[in-house]
Amino acid sequence: MGMHEQLTFFLLLLSLYAPGTFIKATALPDLPRVVTLSEDTVPGTRVAEVTVSCSNMSGSPNVTLDSMEPDHPFNPIAISANPTSATMFQAEVTLRAGAELDARQVNQYTLTLRATCPGEDEVEERLFVQVTSGQVLRCDTPFTSAGGDVVQVLADVAPRTPLYAVLPQPLGGLTFRLRNQDTPLTLTRRGLVLAPDNGFDPSKDTQMFKLEIEVMDRHGHNCSGAVTVEVLPSRRPRVTFPEPHRSVTVTEGIGPWKVVTQVHASGENVRYAILAPVAPTLFTIDEVTGEIRSTRRLEVARAHLLIQAYNALHPADHDTAMVNITVQGTDRWAPRCVPAIFVSQVPETVSPGSTLVTLRCTDSAGNDECLHYALEGSPASRSHFCMEGPRLKVNTTLDYDSEAVATMGFQFTATIVVTAGEQLPRSTRVPVLVTVTPVNEFRPACPNSATFTVPETAAFGSVVGRVAGTDRDYPPDSLEYSLEGESGPAQPFSIDSRTGEIRVVGPLDSQQQKSYRLVVRLTDTRNDLDPAKRLSRLCDVSVRLQAVPDQVPVCTPEVQELRITAGSPGSRQPVTRLVCHGSPNGDTLTYAIVGGNEDGRFRLEGNTVVYLPNDQVEPRTFVLLVEVWGGSGARRRSTMVALVMHVTPWSTPVPPSTTTQHTTLQKEPLVVTRTEVVWHPPAWFVAVLTISGTLLLATLGCTARSLLCRSRGPGKPFLGKSSWDVVEKSGGKEEQGHPHANSQGQFDGRAQDPRTGRDYLFNSVTGARRWI
């Protein structure tokens, strides 16, 4: 290519990229197209996303939406940049808020989209939106079940709090209707069940409200169900005034903003307010502390304030108290009464109408006949006592054994208010404390049924049963139990003085006596002010013995033959252990040697037979008879075990010699204990092992013979090597002792075997022997 041709090609490329050259229109490559939309689609749903393509990067395009149908349910087009290309944009078509689609009225919308990029021609395309019918309306399973759905709430829930949603995500165009109107709950248009406008009553127990609700869409589809709202009592402490009535007397002349009295209520987040009078003129209350203060200088007057205490977070939780404030003048004295305080104890048997005290009151003005007496206090105190002039009388029975009196701590407190004057009343308050004392009125009562059954093999201390006596005096059932007669063979039982439990304290035998009749004395305690005033009652209790079949102990084996080698005198040798089993109830077995124990050479330590060696020199055989029994007394059940003991002395005495005399020291033989584990090999293994062993023994025999013949010199007698094995069989185990190999040829004594008559050499240290 020549120079001229290269320049022409370069100019052509510049012309292609020059602005304003070859203007390209905006493109909507995704349109036209058709989208399908269900009439149940919620507002705000994206209907379609359309790509807008521009030929330059000068700015974002302008996209407008038009429809052939007026009042179409679509939002204006929202434009967003495409992160993959600077000239590509996304146009989003969405449903506007409150849009309701109905396929029976409009089943297709034809939307016209016009897009224009900066510096480019406008393009126009169509988007067809087809509306299809929605699905059949369905409600949740718990709501439509036979019993309906159940929701639990606390009684202190705030008013109009949402308690239940009929549909978690309700569709548009739904109508919720409450079939039953006899409920304080509210059902909203969105299907929410709200708490009552004034909240629930926290003073009631569990409350139940059942609502039957019908749901219908605009197409006539419906579903119905029920929901039960269970209102549980509040778990938080309620606001309560411990003193619902209070009377306060102050003197005139108190300045403004002085504390007159203070009220207190228990609960959480407590606040105070004056309910009556609505606009108090003399007093105000601090809503946090409950202090009642004067608003101006006080003069002689009387005010009745109704105070309300409420929970600031739950205003429905509240309580009220009445405070009576009397402002007295300083020119006249209040009445004086004797006694100024009345404290008394009265028995619970005091009859109604009895006079407890007569007040002696005097007025400073000398008009004692115009005094007015009134009793103030808790409702319980005012119901049990009354005033008749200056006399305080008992109004109703003071039953110490009742739960109501016990709740009050057996004490009643009240105040006698003595008032003088009418225009300027002056009052004196006399505190009253009456303590009710108990009187032992009722005898203890025996239980309806007092028959028990116990097996005759019951162990010492076993519980037979419990005598449950009753007593109506307070404290209820405060009794002491005792048996008539002492415990012994005729009455092998005892009773717990506090609980009434009868226990076994002696041997039982159904063959001697099948049942016992016990007389239990019930005596009440702490039921009278005088500890000596106690009442008792005798109760018959029957105890039947249940016979238990006898079972003799079983020992395995019943006859044993054992061989033992005696140790040194004064030692202790365990020989065998008896294996015996008693009755299933676990009776302890007892072992005793009843025969054959001559010279007391054997003894029993539990179920172990122990031999006590002495200095005997001859072998000896013992036949021991061991009795094994279980139970005690007349119920003793025993069996016999025979033990044949062959005892061999541990050494043989040395006969006298005419040449040399050796002194032999008695030493205990070395005993090696070996435990064998039994293994049952297969037949082929036994055959192979037998053949291999035979060949090995033949080889070792030939080798030993050649070595002995080679080491044997002329004129030297040959002493064959041998050893004595001492075998002791004790309890199925085998013990064997062998002389030490490094002590062969070192013998310090000579003796003769009494059985064979042969002489042998022996080592007094190791016990090794060699025949001569």
For residues 206 and 306, membership in a common domain is answered with no
For residue 4, is it within any domain? no
Domain boundary (328, 354, 373) is at: 328
Q: Which amino acid is at 635?
A: R
For residues 457 and 540, membership in a common domain is answered with yes
**Are the CB atoms for 266 and 397 separated by under 8 Å?**
no
Q: Which amino acid is at 182?
A: D
- How far apart are alpha carbons 310 and 632 in whole angstroms? 76
For residues 42 and 117, membership in a common domain is answered with yes
For residues 61 and 156, membership in a common domain is answered with no
Look at residue 9 in the predicted model and tell me its pLDDT: 45
Domain boundary (295, 312, 328) is at: 328
pLDDT digits (tens, 9 = 90+) for 208-246: 999 999 988 777 778 889 999 999 887 778 889 999 999
Give CA angle at 655 (653, 661), nearest 5°. Answer: 105
For residue 311, is it within any domain? yes
Positions of the chain with pLDDT lower than 50, given as ranges: 1-23, 652, 654-675, 677, 713-745
Cis, bond preceding 277 (omega within 30 deg of 0): yes
In the chain, % of residues over pLDDT 70: 84
The strands making up 283-285's β-sheet, listed across from edge to edge, are 259-262, 291-294, 283-285
For residues 487 and 408, membership in a common domain is answered with no
3-state secondary structure of 467: coil
For residue 693, is it within any domain? no
Domain hosting 102: range is 25-132
For residues 226 and 266, membership in a common domain is answered with no
Look at residue 651 in the predicted model and tell me its pLDDT: 61
Report the CATH number that the domain containing residue 532 is assigned in CATH. 2.60.40.60
pLDDT digits (tens, 9 = 90+) for 439-490: 988 999 999 888 999 998 888 889 999 999 999 888 888 899 999 887 777 8
Burial classification of residue 722, based on how many CB atoms lie within 10 Å of its CB (0-12 exposed, 13-18 middle, 19 or more buried) = exposed
For residues 150 and 207, membership in a common domain is answered with yes
3-state secondary structure of 628: strand
For residues 123 and 149, membership in a common domain is answered with no
Dihedrals φ, ψ of 7, to 5°? -65, -40
- How far apart are alpha carbons 249 and 298 in whole angstroms? 12
pTM: 0.35
For residue 389, is it within any domain? yes
Look at residue 136 in the predicted model and tell me its pLDDT: 61
| Count of structural domains, the chain | 7
For residues 273 and 170, membership in a common domain is answered with no
The terminus-to-terminus CA distance of the chain in angstroms comes to: 135
For residues 349 and 418, membership in a common domain is answered with yes
Domain boundary (521, 546, 571) is at: 546
For residue 613, is it within any domain? yes
For residues 417 and 506, membership in a common domain is answered with no
Look at residue 463 in the predicted model and tell me its pLDDT: 93
For residues 29 and 127, membership in a common domain is answered with yes
